[in-house]
Amino acid sequence: EVQLLESGGGLVQPGGSLRLSCAASGFTFSSYAMSWVRQAPGKGLEWVSSFSAAADGTYYADSVKGRFTISRDNSKNTLYLQMNSLRAEDTAVYYCAKVVQIRPREGFDYWGQGTLVTVSS
Amino acid sequence: QTVVTQEPSFSVSPGGTVTLTCGLSSGSVSTSYYPSWYQQTPGQPPRTLIYSTNTRSSGVPDRFSGSILGNKAALTITGAQADDECYYYCVLFMGSGIWVFGGGTKLTVL
């Protein structure tokens, strides 16, 4: 059974940093691209970032480019999202999502439960 | 900037059929955008219904189907049930590792 478990969310002041983790199990983690998708309170889904399993790139939405960094540790079956220079508009539930294939393209097939990030003074 | 469009809301009668669409502010959706569809009830994570235009995700009943209709991607739900009442999101692959979600459709079954 595929399981994705996010952690690391919390309350942070504007300009602060936070690192999210997503522990994966139930599939060969190194063989699939992975993504982060967020949802602001009362709003729709927004794709944030993806990491190809083919070692051919990391990708970011314009809204987070230059501030967020996605990474993965295949030895620990874990995906990360380092978030710096946080803004109020980054407040959202952050979901970890498994991509259907090795490269970001077909969409997502499994989702975690999400972790809430609140940026406020 | 490309905007992915969805109907903000839709209604269907119990047992009825409804088709939700996913378009582009400029241009046509094709299979090259690998459209996928997600279902979400408030407070829950999304659930994958369809990916790569028309491939049902594991465990999804065949009441849900995906296609390209005209210049849009489409999600058709047949035999609508009360627990189909929730939000539906599409996402399109724009190339270069980038996806864009639509704003979502709130489906009411009444």
Residues of chain A in contact with residue B99, where contact means CB-CB under 8 angstroms, are 35, 47, 50, 104, 107
Q: What is the dihedral of CA A54, A57, A61, A66, to 10 degrees?
A: 150
- Residue B2's pLDDT is 85
- Give chain B positions within 8 Å (CB) of A59: 96-98
Percentage with pLDDT > 90 across chain B: 96
pLDDT of residue B12: 97
Cβ neighbours of A107 in B, within 8 Å: 34-36, 48, 51-52, 91, 93, 99
The answer, for B98 touching chain A at a CB cutoff of 8 Å, is yes
Structure tokens at A121: 């003074």
Please write the tens of the pLDDT for every residue from B43-97: 999 999 999 999 999 999 999 999 999 999 999 999 999 999 999 999 999 998 9
Q: Residue B70: CB partners within 8 Å, gap ≥ 6?
A: B28
More confident residue, A8 or B2: A8
Q: Would you state the pLDDT for residue A118? A: 98
pLDDT along chain A (121 residues), means of 10: 97 98 97 97 97 87 97 96 98 97 90 98 95
Q: What is the pLDDT of residue A85?
A: 98
Task: Select from A46, A59, A109 the Cβ nearest to the Cβ of B57.
Answer: A109
Please give the distance of CA A6 from its chain centroid, rounded to a whole number. Answer: 9
By Cβ distance, the residue of A47, A104, A105 closest to B100 is A47
Would you state the pLDDT for residue A99? 95
Signed CA dihedral, A103, A108, A114, A119: sign only: positive
**What is the average pLDDT score of chain B?**
96
| Nearest-angstrom CA–CA distance, A17 and B38 | 30
